């Protein structure tokens, strides 16, 4: 190497990607703070019905709602946003992008999804009360270009307050849990256990406009 090529910033193992060249859809998954409650990667993909899609999973080692990036090289919102742009530029077969996350990961999914202007966000029990006004500003700045779907249990007071405040923003669609279901803060896990997640995501779309 002659030094003319810039070295890519290291994510220190906190970003992992599964590339499917035959699929034109990418799901960006932002892990929450309580990662111990998440299933293993194979189980996660199977239970979500997304095993045949392009998938990128991001972990936040500083537990700072992805506001400090994911590593010493990628250590800010701006740096992580640039990583997303660079990664998407390399994936020429992708023409639909979605994000998803649970709890603090839901905050990350909304934050980066709206800043990137992706197609849809799926946020489960998004949290971060001290960051609510900031996130509302990000959503409003997106001006409805990104559809933000928020799943929450209205009986969980903190989550309901956060979700319903986001619901006042343009482009946000609220999905409260049915009255007879008590998921609390764990709406994502509840929907996964009930086999409901595959029904909310878009069907597989092949690359080159070929749908399957």
pLDDT at 12: 95
Residue from 46, 52, 60 nearest 18 by CA:
52
Per-residue pLDDT for the chain (212 aa), expressed as one digit of tens each?
454 456 889 999 999 999 999 999 999 999 987 654 455 666 778 889 999 999 999 999 999 999 999 999 999 999 999 999 999 999 999 999 999 999 999 999 999 999 999 999 999 999 987 899 999 999 999 999 999 999 999 999 999 999 999 999 999 999 999 999 999 999 999 999 999 999 999 999 998 744 43
pLDDT at 1: 44
Domains and CATH numbers, the chain: 15-200 (3.40.50.1820)
pLDDT at 129: 74
pLDDT at 47: 86
């Amino acid at each position: 190497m002659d030094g003319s090529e810039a070295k890519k910033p290291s994510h220190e193992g906190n970003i992992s990607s599964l590339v499917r060249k035959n699929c034109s859809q990418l799901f960006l998954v932002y892990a929450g703070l309580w990662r111990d409650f998440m299933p293993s990667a194979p189980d996660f993909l199977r239970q979500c019905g997304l095993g045949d899609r392009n998938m990128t999973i991001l972990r936040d080692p500083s537990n700072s709602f992805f506001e400090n990036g994911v590593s010493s090289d990628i250590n800010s919102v701006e740096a992580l946003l640039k990583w997303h742009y660079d990664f998407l530029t390399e994936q020429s077969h992708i023409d639909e992008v979605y994000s998803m996350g649970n709890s603090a990961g839901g905050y990350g999914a909304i934050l980066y999804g709206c800043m990137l202007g992706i197609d849809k966000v799926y946020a489960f029990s998004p949290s971060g009360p001290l960051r609510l006004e900031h996130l509302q500003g990000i959503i409003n700045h997106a001006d409805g270009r990104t559809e933000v779907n928020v799943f929450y249990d209205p009986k969980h007071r903190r989550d309901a307050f956060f979700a319903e405040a986001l619901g006042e923003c343009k482009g946000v669609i609220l999905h409260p849990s049915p009255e007879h279901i008590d998921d609390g803060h764990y709406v994502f896990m509840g929907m996964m256990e009930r086999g409901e997640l595959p029904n909310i995501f878009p069907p597989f779309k092949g690359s080159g406009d070929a749908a399957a």
